[in-house]
Structure 1
Amino acid sequence: MERSHQIVAASLASSDPSNNAPVPTNAFEAELKQKAKLVQLGLMRRPEHEEPDDYEEKDKVTIKSMVVSMIRMPPRLWKLMICQVIGWVAYFATHLYFTDFVATAVYNGTFEHDDDAGFERYKKGVAMGCWGLGLYSASTAVYAFCLERWLAERFSLNSLYFVGYVVYAVGCLVNYFIHNVVVNIIMCFTFGMLVVSLNTLPYHMLSKFHTDETYRNKDGTKRGIGVDCSLLNSCYFLGELIVAASLGPLLERTGYEKIIFDNSK
């Protein structure tokens, strides 16, 4: 078949362009179809004057255009980004120190090498905390499946987004007041609910924003969904930056790693 296409391409390429004899309509349409098919198969190149050129200089994305887009963003996107930053800060603040919390607050372990018994308890606590993070990963997959299959069809996106935050807050409060290994490990499923909410629901909301004709910049200009997606993605890194800049010095100054969950001091 490829050989036949090459023969047709050669015959079309060798045709005499100076021949001005009228071509029957049916033959002309058949020739156009053959050329279009050869272009799709990569056996013929489209003429330069037929190449689509939709690019405009004003569509070029620069740092300046990104900053201007942030300044002019609609209020509803501002609110969504603030919620995203808060969610990522909460997630990183608890997730990064969860194993240390289990090792010190639940198992009463110490990180001192001269205390062999305390150090052994610390290692067991870290291992058990890792099992909790494994449960968190499994709950992420399960909740994502349920969200896509059933929940998103029965409840609004705003409600599911709010519930994800509330459930996570309840899980953190339970871990704060109850230092029991079984309870603390079970509460790890709330981590998964928050992560799924942060990674999926805002982008569904954003797609709905762009179907609304009233969703525009403050100056009335239309927004691009690609820029808005990149702004939502930046909330992840902003949350990491806030946690690194605040909790690191705080824990270093207090010398107390259990400050995230532990209420015993």
Structure 2
Amino acid sequence: MADKLDEYQGVTGRWHGFKDRCKERYAQWKEDHPNGIVEMLKEALFGIPTSDHQPDRAYDNSDYSDLFRRKNRLELMRISAAVMGIEFSYAGETAFVSPILLQIGVPHEQMTLVWALSPLIGFFMTPLLGSLSDRCSSKHGRRRPFIFLMSIGVCLGLLLVPNSESLGYVFGDLGAINRTEVPSVLGPRSSVLETEGTNHHPWGVFFTIIGTVLLDFDADACQSPARAYLLDVTVPEDHARGLSTFTIMAGLGGFMGYSLGGINWDDTSIGNFFGGHVRAVFSLILIIFIACVSATITSFKEIPLDELHQYEEFKKSAEPAAQLQVESQGNDVEQVEKDVLRKDCSTYGTLEEPQSPSVPNGLPIHEGHGEPLSVKHYLISIIKMPNSLRIVCLTNLFCWMAHVCYSLYFTDFVGESVFGGNPAAPIGSESRINYEAGVRFGCWGMAMYSLSCACYSTVIEKLIKKYGAKKVYVGGLCTYSFGMTLLCILRSQVAVILFSWTAGVMYSTLFTMPYLLVAHYHATGMWDSAGGGCNEKRGIGTDVAVVSSCVFVAQLLISFIMGFTVKATGSTAAVVGVAATLAAAAAVTATKITYLDL
């Protein structure tokens, strides 16, 4: 007996206990999934989730019936495919735009001015585009025309950036004098550029800047209608699942995009076919981007605005009869009101007051006699937004500032503070080699952050259901702040890979939580904990665009702050230090958000 007791003590005992728990969990899993893992995967991908609420059949139009049912995971992936293409374009942009500008003679001190052009345009244009999409009268719907137009701008940017130098030659640039083929992470540079005032690529610089602005602005602007489209064509029960899928696709796009740029295409037949490494990368990204956007805009039809007005009349005529029928069945009046609010207040994209809800699933209603929302009213609605939405925007601003620190300056931090390199050192020197090695290693860290974003997005929906939106939001921000703090202290290669995963948690959080909150405010018609509605006539497209515009403000502020901070501290470690501080500030403001019952 003593021998048997000894067997289950110490390491051996813990091992037997672990095996027993594994056997119990496997038995439970087999009981819950009698058809095996293959059928489980089929159900997860192709099975349409059930709903406690039957879809509204008042609008009997088979062309749009799919808008009123729940979507399976593959359908959500197709709806979200556009953001994967956008993230591919982002990866190419962040990896190569700066080197191209340096290569054709743009000084470092002017680089921030180039990057500031897109945020300046986007801050004013993106919310306006969101408002216009709320009342777009195209026969193809409200969101898809804007996705298509923004995608054209992205395609033009993807074509201009890698070919700007060649276009400059066509327009009269003198070309590169004394070009030297020097191994460098920035590629071969012309030695004439080392001499101040000898830039022979004015047209090349012009086309690169135009391509950069088109690529950066349109990629940012395209995300708002893409998100609004997702919310429009899915029922409220699928919004959390859809937004998490949206973020998964974004993370996978970033991960594959950075990996695509890490391949040496010059040694492949593809590189030879397209004319070099940079052109090969941008050409492949262009093809992938077109395929992704095409998959999204052909997934589900949108109901045109004029038909939505007809649907409103159907709803108004059907509501009294439906209410009488429910009351005749003896249902609780309070429960009836909750069901009506839950079902009919899902007015995504609506421009009508919450007190008179009409159309579910993001189908917009206009005020009074159907007049479109004026630009003046739109601008006032931004200034006079509900306090709950204002706090969401403030939190999202801090989040984006913390993330921009990482995404724009991380490779430079790794090159200088982790590898001890110097970007200003002569080419071929040990200090310059170390810096370039750090930049390449930093790209692996960014690939890990994109992969982390995709992985975390698969569980964020479950975490919200289990722990609540507030704990998930604040916890994600604290995780990133903690990771960046440790990275600032340790500054090692292991820390770069390990704590880059916390950046993925942050990106997934800011990509999901603010939009889930905005959708919930519109779905319930409530904007405060007391159950009060918003007195302003607001559309979800407008509010999604306003929240998204925080990224433009963040990029502008960081571009001014970071240079002074690095100079004052004398180290690029300030990059991750500022990121940690801003994430902590976001966590504090996130505790003040109105979460209602999320």
Same structural fold, with TM-score higher than 0.5 when normalized by the shorter chain: yes
CA distance in 2, matches of 1:124, 1:140: 25
TM-score (norm 2): 0.33
Alpha-carbon deviation of 1:94? 2.4
The answer on 1:102 being equivalent to 2:417 is: no
Q: Show the 5 A alignment for 1:44-123.
A: 54=309, 58-62=371-375, 64-111=376-423, 112-113=425-426, 116-123=429-436
CA distance in 2, matches of 1:131, 1:259: 21
CA distance in 2, matches of 1:188, 1:81: 25
Name the residue aligned to 1:224. 539
Deviation sequence 1:232-254 (CA, Å, 0-9, x none): 11112221122223324655788
The answer on 1:246 being equivalent to 2:561 is: yes
AA matched with 2:372 = D
Q: Show the 5 A alignment for 1:1-265.
A: 54=309, 58-62=371-375, 64-111=376-423, 112-113=425-426, 116-148=429-461, 150-215=462-527, 216-217=533-534, 220-248=535-563, 251=566, 257-261=572-576
AA matched with 1:182 = V
CA distance in 2, matches of 1:127, 1:189: 17
Q: Given that residues 168 and 190 in structure 1 are in contact (C-alpha distance below 8 angstroms), is that contact kept between their aligned partners in structure 2?
A: yes
SS of 2:371 mapped into structure 1: helix
Alpha-carbon deviation of 1:117? 1.0
RMSD: 2.7
CA distance in 2, matches of 1:130, 1:204: 30
Deviation sequence 1:94-146 (CA, Å, 0-9, x none): 22111111111111112201671111111111111111011111101101112
Q: Given that residues 418 and 438 in structure 2 are in contact (C-alpha distance below 8 angstroms), is that contact kept between their aligned partners in structure 1?
A: yes
Deviation sequence 1:196-224 (CA, Å, 0-9, x none): 1111111111122123344344xx34432
Alpha-carbon deviation of 1:174? 0.5
5+ residue gaps, structure 2: 1-60, 63-305, 310-365, 528-532, 579-598
SS of 1:260 mapped into structure 2: helix
Cα distance, 1:109–1:262 mapped onto 2, change above 3 Å = farther
Q: Given that residues 398 and 554 in structure 2 are in contact (C-alpha distance below 8 angstroms), is that contact kept between their aligned partners in structure 1?
A: yes
Cα distance, 1:250–1:170 mapped onto 2, change above 3 Å = closer
Q: Given that residues 448 and 500 in structure 2 are in contact (C-alpha distance below 8 angstroms), is that contact kept between their aligned partners in structure 1?
A: yes
Deviation sequence 1:128-174 (CA, Å, 0-9, x none): 111101111110110111213x2232121121111111001001100
SS of 2:417 mapped into structure 1: helix
Q: Given that residues 488 and 576 in structure 2 are in contact (C-alpha distance below 8 angstroms), is that contact kept between their aligned partners in structure 1?
A: yes
Deviation sequence 1:170-192 (CA, Å, 0-9, x none): 01100111111102221001111
CA distance in 2, matches of 1:142, 1:114: 39
Q: Given that residues 100 and 258 in structure 1 are in contact (C-alpha distance below 8 angstroms), is that contact kept between their aligned partners in structure 2?
A: no
AA matched with 2:397 = V
Alpha-carbon deviation of 1:255? 7.2
Q: Given that residues 403 and 503 in structure 2 are in contact (C-alpha distance below 8 angstroms), is that contact kept between their aligned partners in structure 1?
A: yes
Name the residue aligned to 2:294. none
Cα distance, 1:113–1:204 mapped onto 2, change above 3 Å = same
Name the residue aligned to 1:21. none
Cα distance, 1:114–1:213 mapped onto 2, change above 3 Å = closer
Deviation sequence 1:22-45 (CA, Å, 0-9, x none): xxxxxxxxxxxxxx99xxxxxxxx
CA distance in 2, matches of 1:213, 1:257: 46
Q: Given that residues 565 and 574 in structure 2 are in contact (C-alpha distance below 8 angstroms), is that contact kept between their aligned partners in structure 1?
A: no
161-170 vs 227-236, greater mean Cα deviation? 227-236
Percent pairwise identity: 27
Whichever of the two has the greater Rg, that structure is: 1
CA distance in 2, matches of 1:237, 1:147: 26
Cα distance, 1:262–1:102 mapped onto 2, change above 3 Å = farther
How many residue pairs were aligned? 211
AA matched with 1:80 = V
Q: Given that residues 105 and 262 in structure 1 are in contact (C-alpha distance below 8 angstroms), is that contact kept between their aligned partners in structure 2?
A: no
Q: Given that residues 101 and 262 in structure 1 are in contact (C-alpha distance below 8 angstroms), is that contact kept between their aligned partners in structure 2?
A: no
AA matched with 1:143 = Y
AA matched with 1:183 = A
AA matched with 2:429 = D
AA matched with 1:245 = F
CA distance in 2, matches of 1:229, 1:179: 37
5+ residue gaps, structure 1: 1-35, 38-50
